[in-house]
Amino acid sequence: MQEFLDSLITQGYFAGVPRDVVYAAGMAVFAAVVVLGFVLNVSGVTTWLERRVWARMQGRCGPNRVGPQGFLQWLADGVKLFMKEDLIPAEADSRLFRLAPYIVVLGFLTAFVVIPFSSALIIADLNVGIVFVTAVTSLVVVGILMAGWASNNKWSLIGGVRAAAQIVSYEIPAGLSIMPIVLLTGTLSMQGIIAQQGWAPQNWFVFNNPFTFLAFFIFFTSALAEGNRTPFDLPEAESELVAGFVTEYTGVRYLLFFLAEWGNLYIIGAVITTLFLGGWQIPPVTDNAVLRALLEFLTFFIKSYFWVLVAMWVRATLPRVRVDQLMSVCWKYLVPLSFANLLGTAAWVVAWPQGNVVARYAMTLVGVALLYYFFQRVAFHLRRARVRERGELQFSPLS
Amino acid sequence: MSLTGFELEVQRAGSAGLETEEMTLNMGPQHPSTHGVLRFVIKADGEVMREAIPDVGYLHRSIEKISEKVGYHGFMPYTDRVDYVAAMFCNQGWSMACEKLGGIEVPKRGEYCRVIAAELNRISSHLLFVGTMILDIGAMTPFFLAFQEREKINDLLEELCGARLTYNYMRIGGVAWDLPPNYAERVLAFLEHFERALDEHNDLISYNKIFVERLANIAAVTPEVAINYNLVGPNLRASGVPYDVRRDDPYSIYRELDFDVPVGTGEVGTVGDCFDRYIMRVHEMKQSVRILRQCLKQMPDGPVIAKVPRKFKPPAGDAYIRVESARGDMGWYAVSDGTEFPYRCKIRTGSFSAMSIIDRLSPGLMIADLVALISSLDVVAPEVDR
């Protein structure tokens, strides 16, 4: 942040204003902009987009009445929820009940402090950045457990306990998949991690070596589970637990839980982009500080929002796992695998301290091949659906 | 019943001084996955259930008693409400019971109309089952795909009888209306499309890894238990008992039609588990398509309804009739005392007996499995209570 303001000052903006005032004002304005202008809008728009994308995948229209293409639906929903009565069940522990949504929101808003939107746009580049993210997002568990307990409803309680068990368990593979990157870079700072990657895919950490490639998938899976997303949406499993820990909530408190859920999705995408996908790195195209910040911001935003879309897609595709299957996936497969990954990366770093260029290009090729295979499969199914309409049958050479 | 690994662990924890308390949960009558207003009292130890006691009676509307006041003809619209997901079969059951009482012969074309309507209804009922079952497992997209197909059947049935859910199509002695013009072509076009849609559905969800893992080996019912608990229809056949009223006690024109009776094979787990009950409906839809094709081809010309007096007064006596409804063997018992009002009517439905087995299957299951079990038994609440 400071460097960004410095560069603005040297380029002639803010002439005649004391440096400290510029720093302080810049920090305050940016924090406010991030929280109010960015976070709230992004999670709001995400609710609308998820419903539209989902509807499209299911052959429906989705919300399309409020504003163009229903774009303002999320504002209408928000206003509606603000005007609802704030019900607190008579037998509920009213203090905890009222406190719980704030803790959840606190957990996810605080994480934005270290999200590096561009080389300059970051509220605070803490030297423990990535650990800070995992630490504060764990606050969400406390809030959810509190909500489940205080509601004095057995379905809420089961939802809360499920959430606690699930999030705490999946933090282990998620944390262990962050560690390979930390081993490679030797830093925990978000900007430090991005600075060691390049703008081209072969310089991203996901393709650095086979272990980070695997860590990427483990991290995405565990992040979905931590964010209570399908196929791991057990805490609020509608068909089992009514609405899980939000069963008794109404109005704005209910809104806050969902704000946190959709905001969390963006954090997942941002962390993945930072760790594995080169963050805001762009090719050197311009020297103008403002333009550069804008391009970097756009790059980072598109990369991270892509994973939000993937999460929506997964949600439209998969059924929900059972609670024992959830635990066995975590403890029997993901945790040992991510441990092996960590050891493998450690060995890799010892063998090639400067990184292995051949492996990097080879892994990039593997990634491209996987994408190619995926698109081939999609194209095949589209073709088959078309052939089926004519009444013929076609068998996949790949399946 | 032997203890599962988890239960043993709970027991060990208990003996080590950790107290665990049994929790009584009230599931329903307003719960998203109880398909209407069923209620279960669940005794659970965490996620694992000790028992789940079904509590029926929230949808009791005295339909059987109503028959004694409204007469034979007047009762027909009420039968739609016995099982509103598959109302054609209830229509058919009541009219067949009355015809047996009065000794009325239904014209051939009337029988064909009945079977066409009933088999279309069977497909739509099974589509509803498939959609809601998948919804209960947690996937939403296939639910909409199933309902898209169901809408098309609703359109066809609306053309036939003017209603999309409570059809009131059949009459004592036949059906109310003949098929509309060019109806056969439209049904055939739909069947053509539907077979492919069913294949696509299987590709999309039926053999999905998570879906199979959720359903395989859950709440398996052995053939003996299935017979002892009087399971009927697809639930019975899923346990490997090849019994279908249409084939083994043929009524209407089913004797002239060629179709298979699919049975559960334990494709991915044990015979009679939740997955078998699910896939049984998918197979049955294919058989219904076969039956419909034959019916549309063989249909003769002629009247669709026999001459039945407006004041229908069957001679004193009683009649018991069985139809293979979408939920299995459905029995209709009517007693006449010679007046124009039935003396007594009794309906025997598959959902009611299916509810009773939940009590036996539930110990040791998880709450999520109970949801899968309820929906795999295809329990429709109004049919339980009537």
Digit-coded pLDDT (tens) for A174-194: 989 998 999 888 888 888 888
Best A161, A221, A239, A383 residue to mutate vs chain B (most B CBs within 10 Å): A239
Cβ atoms within 10 Å of A127's Cβ, excluding its own: 13
Extract the runs of DSSP E, i.e. beta strands, from chain B.
Answer: 23-27, 39-45, 48-55, 170-171, 174-175, 317-325, 328-336, 342-348
CA distance A82 to chain B (A): 25
Please state the rounded mean pLDDT for residues A340-356: 87
Are B267 and B141 members of one domain? yes
The pLDDT, as a whole number, for residue B95 is: 92
Selected for mutation to probe chain B from A318, A383, A386, A396 (highest B CB count within 10 Å) is A318
Report the alpha-carbon distance of residue A66 to residue A51 in Å, rounded.
Answer: 13
Regarding whether B179 and B32 lie in a shared domain, the answer is no
Do the strands B48-55 and B39-45 form a parallel or antiparallel pair, or are they unpaired?
antiparallel
Nearest residue, CB atoms, A319 vs list B137, B199, B366: B137
Does the beta-carbon distance from B134 to A325 stay under 8 Å? Answer: no
Residues B281, B165 share a domain: yes
How far apart CA A74 and CA A44 sit, in angstroms, is 6
CB contact under 8 A, B199 and A318: no
- Would you call A323 and B47 a contact, using CB atoms and an 8 Å cutoff? yes
Are residues B30 and B85 both part of a single domain? no
CA distance A356 to A342: 17
Q: Which two tokens stand for residue B131?
A: 């959609």
In a domain, B185, yes or no: yes
CB B237 within 8 A of CB B246: no
Pair B89, B226 in one domain: yes
A 10 A CB-CB count for A392 gives 8
Cβ–Cβ of A322/B368 closer than 8 Å?
yes
Shortest Cα distance from B190 to chain A (angstroms)? 12
Query: Are residues B185 and B43 part of one domain?
Result: no
A327 touches B at CB < 8 Å: no
Contact B292, B117 (CB under 8 A): no
What ipTM is given for this predicted complex?
A: 0.79
User: Six-digit token pair at A213?
Assistant: 């490639």
Cβ–Cβ contact B200 with A under 8 A: yes
Q: Over the stretch B94-139, which tens digit does the pLDDT of each residue have?
A: 999 999 988 888 998 999 999 999 999 999 999 999 988 888 888 8
Quick one: B175 and B324 in the same domain?
yes
Contact B144 A322 (CB under 8 A): no
How far A93 CA sits from the closest chain B CA (Å)? 19
Q: Closest Cα of chain A to B372: distance in Å? A: 9
Contact list in A for residue B205 (CB cut-off 8 A) is 319
- Does position A399 have pLDDT exceeding 70, yes or no? no
- Cβ atoms < 10 Å from Cβ of B310: 6
B45 shares a domain with B83: no
B207 touches chain A (CB under 8 A): no
For CA atoms B208, B210, B213, B214, give the dihedral sign: negative
B339: distance to nearest CA of chain A, Å? 49
Place of tokens 């036996």: B360
* Domains contained in chain B, number: 2
The span from the CA of B379 to the CA of B375, in Å, is: 7
Identify the closest residue of chain B to A56 by CA–CA distance.
B141
Separation CA A315–CA A265 (nearest Å): 12
CB B40 within 8 A of CB B55: yes
Strand intervals (E) in B152-193: 170-171, 174-175
Identify the pLDDT of residue B6.
61
Residue B353: pLDDT band by 50, 70, 90 thresholds?
confident
Please report residues of B whose CB lies closer than 8 A to that of A320: 137-139, 210, 214, 368
From B6, which residue of chain A is nearest by alpha-carbon distance?
A: A324
Q: What angle do CA A251, A315, B375 make, to 5 degrees?
A: 85
Asked if A238 lies within 8 A of B32 by C-beta distance, the reply is yes
Residue B219: name the closest of B202, B239, B242, B244 by CA: B239
- What is the pTM for the complete model shown? 0.84
Nearest to B287 by CA among B228, B247, B250, B248: B247
Which among A59, A319, A323 is the nearest to B144, CB-wise? Answer: A59
Average pLDDT over residues B134-152: 87
Domain ranges in chain A? 80-355, 358-399
CA distances to B145, B157, B197, B285 from B127, rounded to whole Å, are 9, 15, 11, 8
Residue A83's nearest CA partner among A75, A91, A72 is: A75
Interchain contact B23–A (C-beta under 8 A): yes
Task: Reply yes or no on whether the pLDDT at A389 is more than 80.
Answer: no
A57 shares contact with chain B (CB less than 8 Å): yes
User: Which residues in chain B are contacts of A381 at CB distance < 8 A?
Assistant: 203
Residue B17 has pLDDT above 80, yes or no: no
Confidence band, pLDDT 50/70/90 cuts, at residue A24: confident
B150 & B194 share domain: yes
Q: Say yes or no: B134 contacts chain A, CB-CB below 8 A.
A: yes
Does A319 sit within 8 Å of B199, measured CB to CB?
no
Q: Is B126 in contact with B114 (CB distance < 8 Å)?
A: no
Q: Could you tell me which chain A residue has the CA closest to the CA of B28? A: A242
CB pair distance less than 8 Å for A239 and B192: no
Segment B15-20 shows an average pLDDT of 63
What's the average model confidence in pLDDT over B38-54? Answer: 84
Residue A391 scores a pLDDT above 60: no
B95 in A contact zone (CB under 8 Å): no
Q: Do B138 and A320 touch (CB under 8 A)?
A: yes
* Domain identity same for B85 and B27: no
Q: Residues 174-193, chain B: which have Cβ within 8 Å of A?
A: 192
Cα B8 to Cα A72, B4, B346: the distances in Å are: 53, 6, 46
CB A81 within 8 A of CB A252: yes
Give me chain A's average pLDDT, please. 83
Positive or negative CA dihedral for B205, B119, B287, A392?
A: negative
For residues B90 and B204, state if they share a domain: yes
- B365 falls within a domain: no
Q: What's the pLDDT tens digit per position in A75-114?
A: 888 888 888 888 888 888 888 888 888 888 888 888 888 8
Are B210 and A319 a contacting pair at CB < 8 A?
A: yes
Is A287 touching B (CB cutoff 8 A)?
no
CB distance from B148 to chain A under 8 Å?
yes
Are the beta carbons of B196 and A389 separated by less than 8 Å? yes
Give the mean pLDDT of chain B: 86
Higher-pLDDT residue of A122 and B104 is B104
Chain B residues lying within 8 Å of A327, measured CB to CB:
none
Contact call for residues A43 and A259 (beta carbons, < 8 A): yes
Compare CB distances from B31 to A57, A242, A391 and report the shortest one's residue: A242
Do B25 and B154 have their domain in common? no
Closest CA relative to residue B134, chosen from B65, B237, B206, B69: B206
Query: How close, in Å, is residue A86 to chain B by CA atoms?
Result: 22
Q: Does B140 touch chain A (CB under 8 A)?
A: yes
| pLDDT score, position A397 | 43
CB of B287 closer than 8 Å to CB of B119 = no
pLDDT confidence of residue A396: 44
In degrees to the nearest 10, what's the CA dihedral of A357, A362, A366, A369? 120
What whole-number distance in Å separates Cα of residue B219 and Cα of residue B365? 8
Per-residue 3-state assignment (H helix, E strand, C coil) for chain A: CHHHHHHHHHCCCCCCCCHHHHHHHHHHHHHHHHHHHHHHHHHHHHHHHHHHHHHHHCCCCCCCCCCHHHCCHHHHHHHHHHHCCCCCCCCCCHHHHHHHHHHHHHHHHHHHHHCCCCCCCCCCCCCCHHHHHHHHHCHHHHHHHHHHHHCCCHHHHHHHHHHHHHHHHHHHHHHHHHHHHHHHHCCCCHHHHHHCCCCCHHHCHHHCCHHHHHHHHHHHHHHHHHCCCCCCCHHHCHHHHCCHHHCCCCHHHHHHHHHHHHHHHHHHHHHHHHHHCCCCCCCCCCCCHHHHHHHHHHHHHHHHHHHHHHHHHHHHHCCCCCHHHHHHHHHHHHHHHHHHHHHHHHHHHHHCCCCCHHHHHHHHHHHHHHHHHHHHHHHHHHHHHHHHHCCCCCCCCCC
pLDDT at B9: 65
**Interface subset of A 296-325, CB within 8 angstroms of B:** 316-325
Beta bridge partners of B174: B171, B305
DSSP letter assigned to residue B202: I
Q: Over 80: is that where the pLDDT of A320 sits?
A: yes
Which residues in chain A are closer than 8 Å to B148, comparing Cβ atoms? 59
**Phi then psi dihedrals of residue A191, to 5 deg:** -65, -35
Specify if B375 maps to a domain: no
The whole-number pLDDT of residue A398 equals 41
**Which residue does chain B place closest to A159, by CA atoms?**
B47
Helix, strand, coil abundance in chain B, percent, nearest 5: 50, 15, 35
- Residue B361 domain flag: no
Nearest chain A residue to B141 by CA: give it: A58
**Length of chain B, in residues:** 386
Q: Which residues of B touch A246 (CB under 8 A)?
A: none
CB contact under 8 A, A325 and B213: yes
- For A21-38, what is the mean pLDDT? 76
Domain range for B329 is: 67-348
B192-221 average pLDDT score:
85
Nearest-CA distance from B188 to chain A in Å? 14
- Across the interface, do B214 and A391 touch by the CB < 8 Å criterion? no
Alpha carbon of B255: minimum distance to chain A alpha carbons (Å): 30
A:B CB pairs within 8 Å: 87
The closest of B100, B97, B80, B98 to B332, measured between CA atoms, is B97
Rounded mean pLDDT, B181-206: 85
**H or E segment to which residue B196 belongs:** helix B183-201
A-chain CB neighbours of B212 within 8 Å are none
CATH number at residue B156: 1.10.645.10
How does pLDDT run across B278-336, given as a tens digit for each residue?
Answer: 999 999 999 999 999 998 888 888 888 888 888 888 888 899 999 998 888 889 999 99
Confidence of residue B1 (pLDDT cuts 50, 70, 90): very low
- pLDDT reported for residue A287: 78
- Closest CA in chain B for residue A162: B47
Instruction: Using an 8 Å CB-CB cutoff, list chain B residues near A155.
Output: 25
